């Protein structure tokens, strides 16, 4: 009996954009550029897989997350129990900032999609335990969302 290959699951453009946004937010946390727009342009112009236009959604997410950083960090801090904000792994922080930005400011995205994507990004970029950590914080955030979880707002 021949070994059957598993089909390769292709990533969607939105997933690719979220992955790029998390990568940028992680890089930004470590080394903030003097001019945000220049840093974003440079980052997305040097993506090898696709042209810069492909990452328009990622650029929107990055701008939104950074522009609302104080609010996002306050939400993260409020939902971490027995855990200092400074101890959060920087990659988990990037994933959480992105997801919470989507939950609070992107009504065009169903909340459950943002939560599921964040958990998947945690699996890709962080440790096995981060999935539970990310899910725990976002699960607490779910109760604050005043719209249906499985559909985008109109």
Confidence of residue 152 (pLDDT cuts 50, 70, 90): confident
Signed CA dihedral, 99, 102, 115, 12: sign only: negative
Domain count, the chain: 1
pLDDT of residue 49: 84
* DSSP label of 8: P
Task: Establish if 131 belongs to a structural domain.
Answer: yes
- Could you tell me the CATH number of the domain that includes residue 39? 1.10.940.10
pLDDT digits (tens, 9 = 90+) for 19-42: 999 999 999 999 999 999 999 999
- Please state, in angstroms and rounded to a whole number, the distance separating the CA atoms of residues 25 and 40: 10
Confidence of residue 123 (pLDDT cuts 50, 70, 90): very high
Q: Answer whether residue 69 shows pLDDT above 50.
A: yes
pLDDT of residue 10: 60
Task: Establish if 126 belongs to a structural domain.
Answer: yes
Q: Answer whether residue 79 shows pLDDT above 60.
A: yes
Domain that holds residue 137: 13-142
CA distances (Å), origin 70, targets 46, 101, 125, 129: 28, 11, 23, 26
């Amino acid at each position: 009996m021949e070994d059957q290959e598993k089909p390769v699951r292709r990533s969607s453009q939105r997933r690719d954009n979220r992955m790029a946004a998390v990568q940028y937010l992680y890089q930004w946390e470590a080394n903030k550029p003097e001019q945000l727009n220049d840093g974003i342009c440079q980052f997305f112009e040097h993506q090898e897989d696709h042209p810069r236009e492909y990452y328009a959604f990622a650029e929107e997410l990055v701008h939104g997350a950074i522009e609302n950083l104080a609010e996002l960090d306050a939400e993260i801090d409020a939902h971490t129990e027995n855990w200092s904000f400074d101890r959060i792994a920087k990659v988990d922080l990037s994933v959480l900032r992105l997801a919470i930005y989507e939950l609070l400011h992107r009504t065009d995205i169903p909340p459950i999609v943002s939560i599921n994507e964040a958990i998947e990004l945690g699996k890709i970029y962080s440790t096995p335990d981060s999935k539970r950590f990310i899910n725990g914080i976002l699960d607490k955030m779910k109760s604050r969302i005043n719209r249906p979880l499985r559909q985008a707002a109109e």
